[in-house]
A and B are shown apart, each in its own frame.
Chain A
């Protein structure tokens, strides 16, 4: 009993392990697998990301009409709801067009935010 209480008093004095989350945060290290960052101009439309994706979260879609001339091929549309953040698309991409970032704040109330379109200004 005395040992237990001694340990508890020590805990009481020490700094707690947890932090008060929205105000304080624990730093996320480099190399974390978070939200995707997609650079359209680097993409060569090889479609490897869509083939390697274990959850089939990446679908190759055609560009909307107004961009059709500049971007004639198919480009990846990422469904974050299906994504398991394994990072295979990042590993396999030959031109580093797809990268995973450290952003983990992905919860949303709007289902449209879950799907990452290759052409962002298109969503209206």
Chain B
């Protein structure tokens, strides 16, 4: 069983890349339609990556060369690695029982950190400002994210489920069945906070302060070009799949329920529909409807309203579970 899983790893990686790029194309078309444009063909992200791959890869003179070239690879590799700890539909994670929710939470930080290091190593003032902003952004969204995720794991602990931090036991016992009406409200609040964290985690408008094309000229990625930029682009596409998978695993772990190969196919399609609906409301719609926040506004948005909402949710879940 283990060997089959290991053999499946590259397949899963490529499938995730394709899903991410397919979603990116869909996102661009729908965003274009909301801006009264026709928009690019759906294959455009794939073509973008292909073109970036054959372009010249420029390393700036003042950069720390090895760090500058290493970070895109670290970013993509770590993003892909999270994928193998996540269950899809009803299937167990590819790397089996070796990792749990806490590991996933930590590993979600690594791609962002890789971007920050890449930005600092490129030796441009724009990238430095962008890297500082990205660190502030990370500090802002990590706290509400942690509260939400931990409150779910804690809910499983008090419900006497074995191995509460493993993602597999979370998917096997959907959280909605474990709570009363008060806890339901609490869980909905936690879900809202997680949805609010998505655009920040993915660095989309209004939370793209670290890239901010019109302010700091692309920020972190200002010096990246060619293959390195393509790797970041791919990492971004995979990050969409990873982060929505975490939310789907936590809150919507339902499958279609058919058996055999048709069941697998139906589950996959249903999974993509869930991913698309989530991303439409959290990224595409918000991206076209808002202007970029200032860094102070970002910190305020995550620290005051988001934390109050998630703490209220935690309190409601607590009261519900203990009463």
Contacts and interface: CB of A to CB of B under 8 A. Distances in A.
Direct A/B contact, Cβ within 8 angstroms: yes
Interface size class of B (residues with CB under 8 A): 10 to 19
Interface stretch (A14-22, A41-49, A56-64, A103-111): A14-22
B288 A18 contact: no
A113 to B, nearest CB: 28
Contacts of A11: 33-36
A16 B30 CA distance: 11
Interface in B27-64: 30, 32-39
Contacts of A8: 34, 285, 288-289
Contacts of B290: 4
A52 B84 CA distance: 73
Contacts of B39: 16
A5 B36 CA distance: 14
B189 to A, nearest CB: 19
B35 A5 contact: no
Contacts, number: 31
Nearest to A1: B289
A12 interface: yes
Given A18-B37, A20-B38, A12 B289 contact: no
Contact of A16 (B38, B285, B289): B38
Contacts of B285: 5, 8
B30 A18 contact: no
A14 B33 CA distance: 8
A66 B34 CA distance: 62
A33 B39 CA distance: 29
Contacts of B32: 16
What range describes how many residues of A lie at the interface?
A: 10 to 19
Contacts of B36: 11, 14, 16-18
A5 B38 CA distance: 19
A16 B288 contact: no
Chain B CB within 10 Å, residue with most, of A16, A17, A19: A16
A12 B34 contact: yes
Interface in B222-265: none
B38 A18 contact: yes
Contacts of B37: 16-18
Nearest to A13: B33
Nearest to B33: A12
Nearest to A24: B38
Contacts of A12: 30, 33-34
Interface string A16-54: 111110000000000000000000000000000000000
Contacts of B35: 11
Interface in B259-298: 285, 288-290
Name, among B30, B36, B39, the residue most crowded by chain A CB atoms within 10 Å (CB to CB): B36
Interface of B: 30, 32-39, 285, 288-290
27 contacts: A1-B289, A4-B290, A5-B285, A5-B289, A8-B34, A8-B285, A8-B288, A8-B289, A9-B34, A11-B33, A11-B34, A11-B35, A11-B36, A12-B30, A12-B33, A14-B36, A16-B32, A16-B33, A16-B36, A16-B37, A16-B38, A17-B36, A18-B36, A18-B37, A18-B38, A19-B38, A20-B38
Please name the 8 residue pairs, one residue from A and one from B, whose CB atoms are nearest each other, closest first.
Answer: A8-B34, A4-B289, A17-B36, A18-B37, A18-B38, A16-B38, A11-B34, A11-B36
